[in-house]
Structure 1
Amino acid sequence: MAYDFAQELQATLNATICRDVRLRAVQRPFDSRQVFTVGSGLSRTNLTQPTGFPVRIDNKRPRVWMNLSYQVHLDDEARYLTVYKSYCGIFSDEELETCLCHFDYEREKDKYTSAHLQVHGLSPALEALNRSGDEKRPLEKLHFPVGGRRFRPSLEDIIEFLVSERLADGREGWQRVVDEGRDRFQRNQLRAAMRRNTAVVAEFIREQEKQA
């Protein structure tokens, strides 16, 4: 399942804003839950740290680099693949030193919302709002909530963001690929929510039957 997931992400990237990106799924060592890491640059000697890759559809020098990482495992019933953590960073350099923003998800996050966005830059408003002890807190330390556990941004949303904001070029037909992939993601998330909330589903069905 993890391998298929990696291939699906790879196909989406190469059909929209990338060329020749290769994603792999490798099992993380010393983890009893059989967690797999999905990303670029993974190998037998690099099992846990995906590397960045250029966002480009031609041979021109890339303007944007992406670092994409997922940690996945089977759910408690060992039937469905579950994303435990994910990270998508957008950078302007190959060394991944200059970050624009990154989209994060961590299922068991304690202090902040599980799905959040962190933006790098200067913010006079934040400087004015910081309280005593936070005077030097930079913008990138804020965790902006984005949709929660079930309906967090998908890779397709990030691709659309990059193309729509003229940060990356999209291949012909990229919007169709994004729309179809996002629909699959949302349907899968909805089905997962239904499995975990069967009483709500039953209540909804009864209400629909009464209105029929």
Structure 2
Amino acid sequence: MVNEYLNERADEFAAHLQLIGELIDPRFSVLKQALTREDPPTIRLSGNIYTDRFLIVRFEYAVFLNPDNGVLTVAESTFSVIRGEVGKEPLVRWDYIRSPRSHIPCAHIQVHAHRDEWTHALVLGGTHSRRSRRRIKHALRTPRIADVHFPVGGRRFRPCLEEILLFVIDEFGVACTPQALEALQQGMRKWEEIQLESAIRNNPATAVRVLATVEK
């Protein structure tokens, strides 16, 4: 059962996501769903941000209250850049899984594309990992770049939604006002501050040691 405090914190985060989405898509709306079967209680926040270049930035967050400190925490998140319409395979996807059930990086990129160089590298590679051995075992299935999980900073230093939107603005030429661009850049800096605070909270001894070396 989702408690009131979790609802409040999730609503605050949803409001933040709503503001970000509206910077690019004025019709954007965040969807909220309680995942009643999850333990601890979890809420999913998701949305599709439509751009002017036939691109959609889709995101999903699963959030819960950390039992150690009561802070709203992301269990999983996905950012997808989709060309065309919702439901199509994305061009690229950024995933974060707080507690992965296999040896994939907890924060990684999956590129959904077909390239001969990648196929050859995956087919002709070694067998020193479980995933590579599984790939050889299923040799009749041609591997794809989407089968590879690229690390992108781990639990603490993964990219935020603002950074993904800045990526599509820069790489795909998506329209963006100067005010929206500044807001996205500020949001990314705020995200970095939040993650730094969390890193300090989890490693106070290291923080004290480093601060002691800083010149006053």
The TM tier, using the shorter chain, reads 0.7 to 0.9
**From 160, 181, 187, the counterpart of 1:175:** 181
Give 1:89's aligned amino acid: S
Deviation per CA, 1:89-129: give whole Å up to 9, x if none.
Answer: 11112242142111110011131111111111122221221
Tell me which of 86, 90, 97 is aligned to 1:106: 97
Deviation larger for 71-80 or 84-93: 71-80
Residue 33 of structure 1 corresponds to which residue in structure 2? 40
Unaligned runs of 5+ in 2: 1-8, 125-135
Mapped to 1, the partners of 2:152 and 2:173 lie a distance apart of 21
Superposition map of 1:68-79 within 5 A: 68-79=59-70
Aligned equivalent of 2:164, options 158, 161, 167 = 158
Q: Which runs of 5+ in 1 are unaligned?
A: 41-51, 57-61
CA RMSD of aligned residues (A): 1.8
TM-score (normalizing by structure 2): 0.82
83-92 or 123-132, which deviates more: 123-132
Q: Check the 8 A contact 1:23/1:38 in 2, yes or no.
A: yes
Q: Indicate the residue corresponding to 2:10 in structure 1.
A: 2
Q: Distance in 1 between matches of 2:31 and 2:41?
A: 16
Distance 1:116 1:39 in 2: 19
Point out the structure with the larger helix share: 2
Among residues 87, 92, 95, which one is paired with 1:96 in the alignment? Answer: 87
CA contact (8 A) 1:53 1:94 kept: no
SS in 1 for 2:186: helix
Aligned equivalent of 1:131 = 123
Structure 2 counterpart of 1:83:
74
Which AA in structure 2 matches 1:19?
Answer: P
**CA distance in structure 2 between the aligned counterparts of 1:87 and 1:108, rounded to whole angstroms:** 14
Return the match for 1:204 from 191, 194, 210.
210
SS at match of 2:56: strand
- Equivalent residue of 2:41, what SS? coil
Paired with 2:207 and 2:86, the residues of 1 have a C-alpha distance of: 48
Shift of 1:173: 1.8
